[in-house]
Amino acid sequence: MSLNETHDPGLRSWVETAQVPGTDFPIQNLPFGVFRRAGSAEALRGGVAIGDQILDLGAAVATGAFGQASVGVAAARAVAAAAQPTLNELMGSGAEAAAALRLMLSRALRRGSAQEAALRSCLVPQSGAEHALPARIGDYTDFYASIHHAMAVGRLFRPDNPLLPNYKWVPVAYHGRSSSIGVSGQAFARPVGQILAGGSAVPTVAPSARLDYELELGAFVGRGNAAGERIAASEAESHLFGLCLLNDWSARDIQAWEYQPLGPFLAKSFATTLSPWVVTLEALEPYRLPWSRSPTDPQPLPYLDFPDLRSRGALDIQLEACVQSEAMRRTAHAPHRLSRSSFKHSYWTLAQMVAHHTVSGCNLQPGDLIGTGTQSGPAPQEAGSLLELTRSGAQPLTLPSGETRRFLEDGDSIILRAWCERAGAARIGFGEAAGRVLPARN
């Protein structure tokens, strides 16, 4: 991918709220999601966020504004796929189709567009919409790509050997549970499981007392690969459709008892929350950075390396996690920032994750979800979980309401946000991934 006219920071939309300073959704972004009007029985369909509005792609197609004669065959087919109840068909159409669609939408939504009159009636306020997951997620794999998170957790539990020897060679991951993935606004009951209390020889079954969030990004697979076929690292990003926010909620006390020797199970299967909008990799092109590996660390094996990796393999995506307790909501306290980091610190890139995932011949499918793992930065305030921020509960945090937190309490909401900005480029954002903890069920 390369910079093109859709990235021009001087572009302006006839949707005036797309020019509001700080908006996540200027015309340079154009992320995709699935929605309907809140409380309605309407069919779910694809839409594009622009300012504080959603362009209803199903309605737009019905106007005839995107006919083949006016926008071309590739874009017309892509917008018809994007108008479906899930984005799987669009994702599976490949990066070229997504790029053609994004260019068409950019031109249609610019000031002076001949399609403005037809498309104005296809706008739906975001405030009046409800969302579904962007895709039908067949499989979900969560990586462990932040060395700062891995080291911080390792120091808590293995101070003499915090980083296992395979970490710097292998993009470590586990296969997650797709059935409990929900969209922003997800509320879930505190999980119950086996917990081994300190000093006890016998576990008990109880609600988790050490419930945590994880600040992550999720990547949706676009064009898949056949079983037995590897995806080269240099080609991997062409197999990804776009990114969203991901909160991989974790019950740390359940996890501590169950995770050896095969890794997480019930500690992470009860809920995972995504933001509703998928920001395409093309939209993220202006925010690329060189990627580097310390010369004292092992360099990637050949199948995880490629020429462009060093020059443009990293993405500078700002990440933020906030909390709002039940008491804060009652007293109108705004969500309180817990941490802020950047995806540029990730030890492994998205391309390396995809290449490693398929080196064994594993076949990915359109709509599969890849998590990056908790994205913590090098500084303590950049930690992406309470486990790190409170040093496993030993150093509680104080909230603006005067409450303290070691781990999450019932009624707590976690709100994840992300955005990209740099000189000479428009600021774009991801929206929010918000979820709330409810009391455990009997």
Residues catalogued as catalytic:
149
Tokens of 201: 């020889």
CB 223, CB 349: distance < 8 Å: no
Tokens of 84: 């479906």
> Would strands 181-183 and 272-274 be described as parallel, antiparallel, or unpaired?
parallel
Length of the chain: 442
User: Which are the contacts of 28, defined by CB distance < 8 A and separation ≥ 6?
Assistant: 6, 7, 8, 9, 11, 283, 425, 426, 428
- Facing residues of 195 across strands? 204
User: Residue 199: left if φ>0, alpha if ψ -120 to 50, beta else—which one?
Assistant: left
Judge if the upstream peptide bond of residue 298 is cis by omega within 30 degrees of 0: no
> What type of residue is 272?
T
Q: Can you give the C-alpha Rg of the chain in angstroms?
A: 22
Distance CA 442, CA 439 (A): 9
